[in-house]
Chain A
Amino acid sequence: MSSLSYAAPATVDEAIGLLAGASGLAKVLSGGTDLLVQLRSGRTRPALIVDTKKIPGIIGIREVDGGFVIGAATSGAMIGEHAALAAVYPGVVEATNLIGSTQVQGRASLAGNLCNASPAADSVPAMIAAGATAVIAGPKGRRTVPVEQVVTGPGRTSLARDEFIVEFHLPKRAPRSADAYLRFIPRTEMDIAVVGAGVNVTLDAAGVCTAARVSLGAVAPTALLVADCAAALVGSKLDEHALAKLDLAARDACKPIDDKRGTIDFRIKVAGVLARRAAAIAFERAAARS
């Protein structure tokens, strides 16, 4: 850690230059709630920390074209306080506000939660279900990728060493469309998801589901976008038949590990139950947004 340097670039290009030019490992700092723990424990020993928070626009939430642009380093607390975002994407906001404690919320960011690449990250299934995209800046300019394509495995992402996420886009909402996120933890608070389930649905005027996205967390090496779960919901009014299909599809999609937090069988069972419950909430919210 002795050779560690710190830089707080004022522009995206400057940040990319620092990342590209670093002599050793360079780490991007947004909220730092994972990075500082890893630094302290010696799990990561970077030569350079690039603090992105001085870059204009990297913190803050803007409404653009009916959707939302969330700066990559925006804290969970700011996201939780944004009334318009919470009204349109309650599932994303709920999930983000489940990351850690109040203290962690004061700093933790969506980019950090995603790029830390934990299978159990709470915001990620909700963002995937919501159809969020990440804008990644690099030496060749910017590219926009669906959130589900950012993480490639535990602790691994598809970002090149000289790339970083500058913002997330949440699309404009269709009428009668809403999301929900639920997670299961053994404790009441301050724990890591054993299973997380994000559901995003759009209904027609009759209350029939016309589009759905369902994502599960902590049941596989990365958060899953489960097409069969979506298919179980589309065309239904969330009757018991659809719920049973959803439950089954969720359980089929799981490839969890056995650990202290939950056995494989238990995680699979919980994934089905949570998918049902999150779908019920999303349907109810969507119906109310007509």
Chain B
Amino acid sequence: MSKIHVTTTVNGEPAEFLCQPGNSLLDALRDDLNLTGSKEGCSSGDCGACSVIVDGRLVCSCLMLAVEAEGKSITTIEGIANGDVLHPLQRKFLEHAALQCGFCTPGFLVAAKALLDHNPDPTETEARYWLAGNLCRCTGYDKIIRAVLDAAAEMRAGAPAGE
């Protein structure tokens, strides 16, 4: 079986791996790069547990071929915190109890980060629709929304004037 060599950037660091043509990006992240924070809940793009940001776009890593990662820049849950300093979203998820079993949590955090990158001041409705592709079976949806809006407010308050 011929494997394809892929060179990419993951969480700001260069990364490379060998993959088969049919491998998903999720497979590569979990099995080849040992980044198991992204979860496999459905492999059909319905649950969002595998959400990552690719070149600024939120995608399901189960719906993207690993080989398509060539030359891209990928952010996973492992790249959300700044070293040991949690991202405001991560802190607010803890404070607002916006996680229970935690399996969907990485996907929610990555999706929420993509939301705030894209729109620092989302309305509650915008946040709910943006996150509609992330399923939570513990159904902590309300607390997740509170956490995201609170993190957004904190980040806006903390941003330098003019931003």
Contact = CB atoms under 8 A, between A and B. Distances in A.
A36 B46 CA distance: 12
Given A32-B64, A33-B63, A188-B132, A1 B58 contact: no
Given A103-B133, A104-B63, A6 B4 contact: yes
Interface in A14-60: 29, 32-33, 36-37, 39-41, 49, 51, 53
A39 B43 CA distance: 10
A196 B112 CA distance: 29
A72 to B, nearest CB: 16
Contacts of B51: 103
Contact of B132 (A1, A33, A51, A189): A189
B48 to A, nearest CB: 6
A169 B73 CA distance: 31
Nearest to B1: A2
Given A4-B20, A40-B24, A51-B67, 15 more contacts: A2-B1, A6-B21, A36-B65, A40-B62, A53-B68, A75-B57, A102-B131, A103-B48, A103-B58, A103-B59, A104-B63, A106-B58, A106-B59, A189-B129, A190-B132
Contacts of B111: 102-103
B43 A40 contact: yes
A101 B45 contact: yes
Judged by DSSP, the binding face of B is mixed
A149 interface: no
A129 to B, nearest CB: 24
A107 interface: yes
Contact of B114 (A4, A6, A102, A107): A102
Contacts of A190: 46, 132-133
Given A189-B129, A190-B46, A107 B59 contact: yes
A75 B55 CA distance: 13
21 contacts: A1-B22, A4-B21, A6-B67, A8-B67, A32-B64, A33-B60, A39-B22, A40-B24, A41-B44, A49-B21, A49-B65, A53-B68, A101-B48, A101-B132, A102-B114, A102-B131, A103-B59, A103-B60, A104-B133, A107-B63, A190-B133
A100 interface: yes
Interface in A81-123: 100-104, 106-107
Q: Size class of B's contact patch? A: 20 to 34
Contacts of A53: 68
A263 interface: no
Interface string B124-153: 000001111110000000000000000000
Interface of B: 1, 4, 20-22, 24, 43-46, 48, 51, 54, 57-60, 62-65, 67-68, 111, 114-115, 129-134
A257 interface: no
Nearest to A81: B118
Interface of A: 1-2, 4-6, 8, 29, 32-33, 36-37, 39-41, 49, 51, 53, 75, 77, 100-104, 106-107, 188-190
Contacts of B22: 1, 4, 39
A77 B111 CA distance: 14
Nearest to A2: B1
Nearest to B57: A106
Judged by DSSP, the binding face of A is mixed
Contacts of B129: 102, 189
Contacts of B59: 103, 106-107
Nearest to A191: B132
B65 A107 contact: no
Contacts of A41: 44
A156 B112 CA distance: 37
Contacts of B131: 102
A33 B45 contact: yes
Nearest to B25: A36
A102 B110 CA distance: 12
Contacts of A107: 57, 59-60, 63-64
Contacts of A8: 67
B1 A100 contact: no
A45 to B, nearest CB: 10
